[in-house]
Structure 1
Amino acid sequence: MTEAGAALPAPPPQRGRKAGLDQDSPFAVAAFAGPALLLFAAFIVLPLLLALCATFTNHRLMSPEPTQFVGLENYRRLLSVDVVTVDALRGSGGAALRDQDGLRFPTWRQVRQAHPELGGYREAFHLRLGERRLVLAATDPQFYRSLINTFLFALLVLPLQCGSALGMALLVNQKIRGRIFFRTVYFAPVVTSMVVASIVWSIMLNTDRGLVNEVLRALSGDPNTGPDWLGDSLFALPAIAVMSAWQGMGFQMLVFLAGLQSIPHEQYEAATLMGANAWQRFVHVTLPGLRNTIVFVLVSTALLAFGLFTQVDVMTSGGPLDSTTTVVYHSVRTGFREQDIGYGSTIALVFFGLVLALSALQRMVAAKGGAK
């Protein structure tokens, strides 16, 4: 026993720690972050800068002509658009001419002859308003068609993939026998190669001998039942969206499952004691508890949807009639197959900026919604 008021002995000095390798020292931070930053710079920043430089040139993969600086020509070629009003053809009496398809309008060649300033433009879309037609003309109409296809695909796959993933997460979160088996089965498509999955689905969606049409014919009893899933512009993009949602929903399922398991069970018990049914518990307990998880899943899924390429390249090659051509596919086809690296890089850079802006806007809207 020490006497009252006696001074306690000083703690022994710490040994073995070097001041230069402290966890807060800049040397330790550089040692840990250096390799990751080096790889990021080599495989992300450097290619991005090279692509940016290529947008100001007419660089081609294989060409006897030297690369030349063209300034903003590639951007002008990509972004030049004009809206033209085209009137229906009229007879000698002034009445609009008609045929079996309805009103007759002049061809785009005739429109360009009447408007010489549209010499380098081609028709991208048109909208009929009475006896007039509004035509969106562009120097690269395929870019705007592929942009519309990309957003349509995102609108199709987002609710389908995220909704199915949430439903599967709710199912495997239940204390039922075999839930580990179902988790494994639901996640299996994620680890499957996208190329392999695309080939398998192409076989399944074959018009003549595909599994999907064979099932439809067996159920209907009609040997001619079954659409041309990948050969009809009406069904090709939705078919790719269903295949993509099936392949990727397992990952979102795990994210939702982690979010569900982080919700305190006491909240469900309190809601049950207050008389809430299953739907009310889902709306007032589960969804608010998954707010941050839902934002992450929506943003990540949207980014993956905007990058659609492999499924289109394997299943449809952009067809039929470019109805499944996306911006990424258009950029790769222009840059590598047509060997126009300068213009392909321009498409990629412009789309990168557009997706970045939309992602930032999506996060801002989600943050404001959560603050309310």
Structure 2
Amino acid sequence: MNRTIRSIGRRTARTSYWRRRDQLVGWAFSAPALFLLLTFLIVPFVMALGFSFTNQRLVAGPLPTQFVGWRNYLQLLQDDTLHRALFNNSLFGWVVVPVQTGLALFLALLINQKLRGVTIFRLIYFSPVVTPLVVVSVVWAFLYNPGQGLMNAFIKTVSFGYLGPYTWLNDGNLALPAIMLLTIWQGVGFQMIVYLAGLLTIPESLYETARVDGAGRWQQFWHITFPQLSNTTFFVVIATTVQAFKLYTQIEVLTQGGPANATVTVVWYMVHQSIRDLRVGYASAIAVVIFFLVIMRIVLILRSVLLTEAKEV
């Protein structure tokens, strides 16, 4: 009896030892990522939260930094440029997120076919993603050139000279749609690869069973492919939504927020408030507000997904 108890005690001790060892190994692997997350995300946000209640400047001035309370946040309510930036970001998100997501799924379904040379198409569609966004923006600036750009030349050709030329980046009604088109083209490859990875996880047996039951391609997509990609779609929508609120590089390179604030975005306005106008405190308040707006947007998306799943159940 005593020997059995001692044996059980030794096994329990070994189990506890290996459990602690696995936990330590897990923390060791997580430590670099946690350190980078703390250094480049959490600490800067806490600093921005603190600066948002001060009149902090980018460079030292004659007056010291002072606590101003809610003054920066109250000023946000009266800032017409910021309101236009919020509208532009929202419009950008409502257009780009569904279009880019749908196009990415369509392309993923196309290149998931077992055809010769399909790898080349994957490379072609994904290459804009790995190209620096500044380079992409400069190239598209040439495409949008009102005099010699290929965009106007194409429209003029297909319309037999009845349409164009358009001043894409200097027209308040066309500048933001032009940025949307650029962004969709540049970023759709990433979502396409994510969807392709999701498609590869769907068991082929599901399609074989559906074909035996007489299901067509559309029925297979609607009842098998799309439900199986629900988690993938949720990730793509969240990632694309976050990218929509981070819109900056295209604006800085192509339009500088113009014409007449037609393409001003929140991140672009925040950066220029801090660097050009040296108002770090006010820019920090903008950053805090945008952070909570993005969180609210994600929560609303998550809530709609959960409600949809609950109705299906």
* TM-score for both structures, normalised by structure 2: 0.90
1:67 aligned residue: 65
User: Runs ≥4 in structure 1, deviation > 4 angstroms?
Assistant: 19-27
1:256, 1:153 → 2: CA distance? 22
2:224, 2:18 → 1: CA distance? 47
2:222, 2:131 → 1: CA distance? 34
The counterpart of 2:271, out of the listed 318, 325, 332, is: 332
1:210, 1:23 → 2: CA distance? 64
How many pairs align? 300
Q: Deviations over 1:30-55 (max 9, x none)?
A: 43333332222222121111111111
Question: Which stretches in structure 1 are left out of the alignment for 5+ residues?
Answer: 1-9, 80-138
1:60 match: secondary structure: coil
1:335, 1:310 → 2: CA distance? 16
1:31 and 2:28 matched: yes
Q: Aligned partner of 1:66: which letter?
A: P
1:159 to 1:26, Cα distance in 2 relative to 1, 3 A? closer
Q: Aligned partner of 1:73: which letter?
A: R
| Greater share of residues in strand | 1
1:156 aligned residue: 95
1:370 and 2:302 matched: no
* TM-score for both structures, normalised by structure 1: 0.76
1:291 and 2:230 matched: yes
Q: Say whether the 8 Å CA contact 1:291–1:370 is kept in structure 2.
A: no
Q: Say whether the 8 Å CA contact 1:20–1:27 is kept in structure 2.
A: no
2:111 aligned residue: 172
Q: Deviations over 1:110-142 (max 9, x none)?
A: xxxxxxxxxxxxxxxxxxxxxxxxxxxxx2111
| Greater share of residues in helix | 2
Q: Aligned partner of 2:241: which letter?
A: A
**Structure with the greater relative contact order (CA < 8 A, sep ≥ 6): 1 or 2?**
2
1:58, 1:151 → 2: CA distance? 28
Q: Deviations over 1:149-188 (max 9, x none)?
A: 0010011111221111111100110111111111111111
1:42 aligned residue: 39
1:308 match: secondary structure: coil
1:77 aligned residue: 75
1:290, 1:187 → 2: CA distance? 20
1:340, 1:218 → 2: CA distance? 48
Question: Which stretches in structure 2 are left out of the alignment for 5+ residues?
Answer: 1-6
5 Å-filtered alignment, 1:71-220, equals 71-79=69-77, 139-220=78-159
1:258 and 2:197 matched: yes
2:170 match: secondary structure: coil
1:246, 1:269 → 2: CA distance? 34
- Which protein shows a greater Rg? 1
Q: CA RMSD in A?
A: 2.2
